[in-house]
């Protein structure tokens, strides 16, 4: 199929973006890497009247570290994040996650900001942002707003980005030395969206998980932190882990049914992923 007709505007600055968003309101859609938006237009799942192309706004494509925080611009492509030395050194969880996102050709065009703004519940990056306690910075005509990752993802394809705003960068505290990170997912083929995935961090080194953060994706309408499992596992010995996980993940997660799996299968996969993370942390 071909997209419905649309107008196209290329913005060269954030002010131009805000002008265009004011002018066209909800009829307009931001175009970043186009890796999700263009297929959705071609399939006529959406038909905005105007696309506002932000790709040429150079100040949105950067990765740096300043005042103890890693900052990643919204137009940083997945490939930029994947090959970044700062990300590899400071945010190992993110470095582990990147190769799981789609395929090389898509990672060469798709952007961090596009993935977070789309808020696909099966996507890797939203869960990483929640696990890393990231701050997402959105900007509009009147200035910037900082939103904790926990509050940014509102539901399936729904975020805290308001009318007239775009996501401009994320800010993430580096993972402390000694903390361990683990990223894994079940998908039909490598590069497919996850059926269930897990982004996990254990804050203290040692045999017990300690300050564990378990954030699932593909298991509900947004990234889901497994708070019951985290606190129950903190005090558990390895032999108790499976029964604790089976009991607590039922309270933490609300898995959906789709063509890949039902809730029981997803809960089982979630428990297996957590067990593997804990095993990795104990080495
Ligand atoms: C075959 C295939 C497989 C894929 N597999 C995966 C996968 O396994 N995991 C995964 O996470 N993704 C996957 N993707 C999606 C890919 O990661 C996209 O790059 C990403 O979801 C969107 O990024 P984009 O820059 O292409 O955004 P676009 O497609 O340009 O935009 C996506 C949405 O975000 C909005 N938007 C974009 N940038 C901003 C911004 N800065 N502020 C506000 N709104 C904005 C747009 O208006 C649009 O609604 C896959 C895509 C394809 C085609």
For 166-208, write each residue's pLDDT tens digit.
Answer: 999 999 999 998 899 999 999 998 888 999 999 999 985 544 5
Q: Give the per-residue pLDDT at 204.
A: 58
CB 6 within 8 A of CB 52: no
Distances (CA, A) of 189 to 18, 103, 123, 135, 185: 40, 11, 15, 31, 11
Residue nearest to atom 3 of ligand 1 (CA): 102
CATH number of 180-281: 3.30.390.50
The helix/strand/coil state of 255 is coil
Given a cut of 70, the residues of the chain with pLDDT beneath it are 204-210
Q: What share of the chain is helix, strand, coil (3-state, %, to 5)?
A: 40, 25, 35
* Spatial distance between the Cα atoms of 93 and 99, rounded to a whole number of angstroms: 11
Residue nearest to atom 46 of ligand 1 (CA): 30
By C-alpha distance, which of 107, 46, 279 is closest to 182? 279
* Spatial distance between the Cα atoms of 48 and 26, rounded to a whole number of angstroms: 8
Tell me, in angstroms, the distance from the centre of ligand 1 to residue 114's CA: 4
* Spatial distance between the Cα atoms of 184 and 150, rounded to a whole number of angstroms: 20
Distances (CA, A) of 131 to 40, 77, 93: 28, 20, 9
Q: Give the per-residue pLDDT at 237.
A: 80
Pocket test for ligand 1, best of 28, 35, 56, 98 (most atoms within 8 A of CB): 35
Domain assignments of the chain as residue spans, ordered by start: 7-53, 58-172, 180-281
CB 30 within 8 A of CB 166: yes
What is the per-residue pLDDT across 118-131, written as a single tens digit (0 to 9) for each? Answer: 999 999 999 999 99
Pocket test for ligand 1, best of 25, 32, 184 (most atoms within 8 A of CB): 32
Q: Give the per-residue pLDDT at 210.
A: 57
Give the CATH number of domain 7-53; options: 3.40.50.9100, 3.40.50.2300, 1.10.3720.10, 3.30.43.10: 3.30.43.10
For the chain, the residue count is: 283
Regarding the beta carbon of 219 and ligand 1, being less than 6 Å apart is answered no
Regarding the beta carbon of 197 and ligand 1, being less than 6 Å apart is answered no
What's the pTM value of the predicted model, to 2 decimals? 0.96
Q: Give the per-residue pLDDT at 207.
A: 46
CB 93 within 8 A of CB 131: yes
How far is CA 14 from its chain centroid?
23
Pocket test for ligand 1, best of 11, 118, 140, 157 (most atoms within 8 A of CB): 118
* Spatial distance between the Cα atoms of 19 and 11, rounded to a whole number of angstroms: 9
Contacts of 272 (CB under 8 A, 6+ apart): none
* Spatial distance between the Cα atoms of 10 and 20, rounded to a whole number of angstroms: 10
Regarding the beta carbon of 33 and ligand 1, being less than 6 Å apart is answered yes
Regarding the beta carbon of 84 and ligand 1, being less than 6 Å apart is answered no
Fold type of domain 58-172: 3.30.465
């Amino acid at each position: 199929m071909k997209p419905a007709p649309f107008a196209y505007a290329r913005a060269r600055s954030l002010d131009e973006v805000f002008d265009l968003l004011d002018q066209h309101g909800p009829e307009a859609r931001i175009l970043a890497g186009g890796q999700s938006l263009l297929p959705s237009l071609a399939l006529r799942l959406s038909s905005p009247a105007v696309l506002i192309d932000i790709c040429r706004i150079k100040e949105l494509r950067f990765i740096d570290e300043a005042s103890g925080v890693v900052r990643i611009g919204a137009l940083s492509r997945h490939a930029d994040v994947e090959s970044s030395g700062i990300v590899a050194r400071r945010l190992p969880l993110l470095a582990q996650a990147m190769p799981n996102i789609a395929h090389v050709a898509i990672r060469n065009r798709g952007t961090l900001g596009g993935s977070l703004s789309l808020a696909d519940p099966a996507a890797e990056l939203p869960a990483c942002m929640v696990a890393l306690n990231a701050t997402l910075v959105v900007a509009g005509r009147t200035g910037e707003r900082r939103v904790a990752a926990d509050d940014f993802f509102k539901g399936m394809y729904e975020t805290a980005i308001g009318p007239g705003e775009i996501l401009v960068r994320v800010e993430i505290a580096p993972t402390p030395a000694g903390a361990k990170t683990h990223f894994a997912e079940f998908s039909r083929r490598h590069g497919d969206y996850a059926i269930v995935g897990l982004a996990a961090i254990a804050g203290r080194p040692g045999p017990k998980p300690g300050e564990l953060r378990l954030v699932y994706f593909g298991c509900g309408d947004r990234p889901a932190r497994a708070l019951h499992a985290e606190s129950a596992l903190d005090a558990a010995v390895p032999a108790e882990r499976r029964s604790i996980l089976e009991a607590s993940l039922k309270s933490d997660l609300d898995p959906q049914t789709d063509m890949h799996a039902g809730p029981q299968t997803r809960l089982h996969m979630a428990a297996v992923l957590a067990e593997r993370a804990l095993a990795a942390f104990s080495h």
